[in-house]
Amino acid sequence: MPVRYEERDGVAVITIDRPEARNAVSPEVARGIEEAIDRVEANSDVQVAVLTGVPPVFCAGADLKAIGEGRGDELSTERGGFAGVVRRERVKPLIAAVDGPALAGGLEIVLSCDLVVASTNARFGLPEPKRGLVAGAGGIFRLARKLPENLALEVVLTGDPFDVDVARRFGLVNAVCEPGEALQTALELAGRITVNAPLAVRESRAVALAGIQDEEAAWQRTYQATEVVMASRDVQEGVRAFVEKRAPVWTGN
């Protein structure tokens, strides 16, 4: 199975297990994550979930092979959106344990989590503009909330990655650890939550998010931008250039 699920002392561990494909999100991964979150939400014995990927990569984003096979729509689920998680409504905290690059859709998964633990091997970025695309799974507006405006714009407009030191300095991650220790560090953070009253944790999370998020307008603008870009000649050129391992020649339309 490309997604593994286990429970440890009131904490669920959801693991993307496709290291041979850089843990890219396939239709099976999207469904697996959604089903795992269903289990978390339905189980009163589970208070917190940790989402991770088998190293050396957290997640490289969408599975281009699946897209090439005409299965791109299956990378999203009806309730969860991309990867079964970026638009998923839930009541329990979700911690990302990042041990390696989290790029494109991988970063968008991280940004959909409540807390983030990252090893010094972690890198983050939204490289979509380098391929003529936009990050359509919430990454642009969520990153703009997490980082200072100029830095967020630099990341979004250049497509260049940034390292864990920058992520920690500006509050994108809660804790930094050595390579190979991201999951254990995330479990320790989860343990600091599970000692508290479950109802109080869920309600406190809901109040905090209600005060900082009003996402519907941002999602609608994201969909509009994605529609414009996907109808362009530049997106076709960006994909061809990537496959042919050459620099793209943009036309601006």
**Catalytic one among 7, 28, 74, 108?**
108
Helix 149-158 with 139-146: angle, nearest 10 deg: 150
Helix 216-230 to helix 139-146 angle (10° resolution) is: 130
Total length of the chain: 253
Map residue 48 onto helix, strand or coil. strand
Cβ contact 200:119 at 8 Å: no
Catalytic residue (one of 20, 28, 128, 188):
128
Is 108 among the catalytic positions? yes
How many CA atoms within 13 Å lie on the side-chain side of 155? 26
* 162 in Cβ contact with 123 (< 8 Å): yes
The reply to whether 178 belongs to the active site is: no
- Cis peptide before 101, with omega less than 30 degrees from 0? no
Q: Check residue 114 and report its DSSP letter.
A: S
Catalytic residues: 108, 128
